[in-house]
Structure 1
């Protein structure tokens, strides 16, 4: 079993343990009406609490957890899925539970927790759903600030659990597990909002140079303000906060420079409100805080035959890899760089120079406006041998990455040989 699967198995295992405790140590029937219905509702609530606690723990961005999920991007994917699954179980709890409205403290706290979590979950998943996309529009900045309230509503849920008359309180083991989940979730939340800023690895930088490469893309060069500088592996990403009005919220960016460079380079495309402001207002002299590094996309851990696929600004981790290859590499690498228009194809001279230094590297530029979309079939047709021993690395828009993943899987390439970054933290 690969270490990157351990995290998901632990989450599933926690839910299985919770279900087992309810079966082995069932609550005592105290003769109340709708006892079975009450038990089902409380079991759904306990399962939801466990998942929300998991989501809060993963939101800490604790670096020691990252390897057990295969990278911070996958940690956040599990974070989102745990929160959504917890939300559905919470809805089941509210739907099934017999509403007695006999607790002056428990009922209001439960309603506050439920309504608050519903609103925050809809703000998170609404923009992803076709039916809600046009109704729920919120900027990343507003979403990020509102999302911090999730732990507060989780605490209201804890108050609700303590104040209402639950059947779970009649059985020690399930009740102890429920309380432990609440405590762990609340501690994780308090760590995130109060302590993480002092514990996470942060470095002080200043923007040294800004190059606007085309109307939508810029390269920002940062130098450390002190001797302490970021240590990273090529292909990793960082969270950057520019200390200037309108740019202070931290955003993740892949480092495009080599680890051996004395400057940190970020290649950024204006694809949203924040990156558009950054493209317009970033300038030399602006101070920045860099947190990281994160991510586990590393070509050096894979085999000798590799296929790299970059879509648009997804070229950034591959730039870092190419810039690190100062001497010929023994691997045979095909880099496919696909863009919509010729003006979007950046760093072509660097890529050609890297191919000269490394005879095993071939660079393929695909301009979809001229030659159509890049497809798995076109890549396979270009290969001299089958894909059985190839490792595929991808970075780009999520729909593109998912389409290529499905295509390679249909071609028989095992998932262990398909590597990509899910660069979405909302």
Structure 2
């Protein structure tokens, strides 16, 4: 009981962080409900089936418009959703839901007297949106496939023609270029609704529809036409490219003008000129803010990152955009658990390169797991040696079992409700540990992670 009292006195529970996490999603839910109630209250006399079908379509337009707001890159949107990474996750969710609703609308609703152009615009819009949605979730097919069906799907995905197509459409740059058409496809569907909806004898319904669609398209135009002009960027050049292991690299960037300011643990959107063309990716920052050069770590996962050692060389230019993310250990309690998987140790390196002895919480148990020797274990051990509060636990999954919540809690030996956890690494590992820690009693507000895959 004495330890519990001491920890509560040293650092309060961060309930405000949970509120921040919930405000954005709750706002989306409130908008959907309020929009449906408005339509129901203003419902004109007529065919109930037609009305419900068009309400479903209008809700789809609302959700897709919200999705465009979420990827507008505006700072207040990031703060409202507790980070651009969370905003990107909710963008993907509302886009999938909105596309599904519009599909239901098309399958269940028809206009006996359609305009000549309206149906064509609607068809192009839904085909485009559906294609982009499938393309976005395709890399996550394992996580969305029911476990009993996975062996069959794996055999299908391993077929040479499917692998060839997968390599082609799996290119991040190609997907990102086509993803920018989302607003155009939404615009086509939006115009189709204005032309062919049968419920717009009610001016309230018409203008509510115009409002939700117009807001989304306005944010889309801002992102495509203005965001790059108002975004703050910093010019750098590559000073070195070094392999960390067989599947990851570290890149050092030196400033050519004003230095890039960031908080330890953040990531940044970096435009790198390579031998073939410019590439734009989010990269974790492993250096400290006080260091002159910026150090980013790269895991060889995609078409560009897998060839980065051949494509990027010292002297090549780079442009760094504003820092992103809220992965910050100072938001936690006085007893913390840090878990890093492989190259996911990068934000922890940034923390350790920035903090002075005595500035860490009362106790930190740092679990660093990798298959084989951890790629940056020597550097981590050296930095850990400067902090008495920090206890390093190395887990080699080639010889040891995979890290589990039970193992973490047994090692820590503290009440789960007093802990904060900061997780970074492979998505499956992080998601499994996140769910397990919450089930074990760690407060949801005290389990922190970042979603580094913004696709």
Q: Please state which band the TM-score falls in when normalised by the shorter chain.
A: over 0.9
User: Structure 1 258/44 Cα, relative in aligned 2: closer, same or farther at 3 Å?
Assistant: same
Structure 2, unpaired ranges of 5+: 1-15, 146-152
Once the two structures are TM-superposed, the CA of residue 40 in structure 1 deviates from its matched residue by 1.0
- Residue 85 of structure 2 is aligned to residue 73 of structure 1: yes
Question: Tell me, what secondary structure is at the counterpart of 2:213?
Answer: helix
Once the two structures are TM-superposed, the CA of residue 263 in structure 1 deviates from its matched residue by 0.6
- TM-score computed with the length of structure 1 as normaliser: 0.94
CA distance in 2, matches of 1:328, 1:420: 24
The alignment yields a C-alpha RMSD, in angstroms, of 1.7
CA distance in 2, matches of 1:381, 1:198: 52
- Structure-2 residue corresponding to 1:379: 408
CA distance in 2, matches of 1:247, 1:385: 51
- Residue 404 of structure 2 is aligned to residue 392 of structure 1: no
Structure 1, unpaired ranges of 5+: 30-34
CA distance in 2, matches of 1:73, 1:418: 15
Once the two structures are TM-superposed, the CA of residue 255 in structure 1 deviates from its matched residue by 0.5
CA distance in 2, matches of 1:229, 1:173: 51
**C-alpha contact 2:65 2:216 (8 A) present in aligned 1:** yes
User: Structure 1 62/272 Cα, relative in aligned 2: closer, same or farther at 3 Å?
Assistant: same
Give the alignment of 1:141-180 within 5 angstroms: 141-164=173-196, 166-180=197-211
CA distance in 2, matches of 1:357, 1:195: 46
CA distance in 2, matches of 1:408, 1:282: 40
- Residue 379 of structure 2 is aligned to residue 350 of structure 1: yes
- Structure-2 residue corresponding to 1:181: 212
Once the two structures are TM-superposed, the CA of residue 177 in structure 1 deviates from its matched residue by 1.6
- Residue 43 of structure 2 is aligned to residue 26 of structure 1: yes
Match of 2:34 among 9, 12, 17: 17
**C-alpha contact 1:101 1:107 (8 A) present in aligned 2:** no
- TM-score computed with the length of structure 2 as normaliser: 0.88
What whole-Å deviation, never above 9, does each CA across 1:69-90 have from its counterpart, x for those lacking one? 1211110111000001001101
Question: Tell me, what secondary structure is at the counterpart of 1:357?
Answer: coil
User: Structure 1 419/179 Cα, relative in aligned 2: closer, same or farther at 3 Å?
Assistant: same
**C-alpha contact 1:18 1:174 (8 A) present in aligned 2:** no
CA distance in 2, matches of 1:397, 1:273: 18
- Residue 343 of structure 2 is aligned to residue 313 of structure 1: yes
- Residue 395 of structure 2 is aligned to residue 336 of structure 1: no
Once the two structures are TM-superposed, the CA of residue 44 in structure 1 deviates from its matched residue by 0.4
User: Structure 1 346/208 Cα, relative in aligned 2: closer, same or farther at 3 Å?
Assistant: same
Question: Tell me, what secondary structure is at the counterpart of 2:40?
Answer: helix
Give the alignment of 1:193-232 within 5 angstroms: 193-226=224-257, 228-232=258-262
Once the two structures are TM-superposed, the CA of residue 99 in structure 1 deviates from its matched residue by 4.9
Match of 2:124 among 112, 132, 145: 112
Q: What is the number of equivalent residue pairs in this alignment?
A: 417
CA distance in 1, matches of 2:181, 2:412: 51
CA distance in 2, matches of 1:399, 1:330: 28
- Structure-1 residue corresponding to 2:323: 293
- Structure-2 residue corresponding to 1:275: 305
What whole-Å deviation, never above 9, does each CA across 1:6-28 have from its counterpart, x for those lacking one? 11111111111111111211123
Question: Tell me, what secondary structure is at the counterpart of 2:278?
Answer: coil
- Structure-2 residue corresponding to 1:32: none
Question: Tell me, what secondary structure is at the counterpart of 2:304?
Answer: helix
Once the two structures are TM-superposed, the CA of residue 105 in structure 1 deviates from its matched residue by 1.4
- Structure-1 residue corresponding to 2:8: none
Once the two structures are TM-superposed, the CA of residue 244 in structure 1 deviates from its matched residue by 2.5
**C-alpha contact 1:4 1:67 (8 A) present in aligned 2:** no
CA distance in 1, matches of 2:195, 2:43: 21
Question: Tell me, what secondary structure is at the counterpart of 2:385?
Answer: helix
What whole-Å deviation, never above 9, does each CA across 1:28-70 have from its counterpart, x for those lacking one? 33xxxxx222101110011000000001111112121112212
Question: Tell me, what secondary structure is at the counterpart of 1:170?
Answer: coil
Normalized per residue, which structure has more helix? 2
- Structure-2 residue corresponding to 1:420: 449
CA distance in 1, matches of 2:183, 2:229: 19
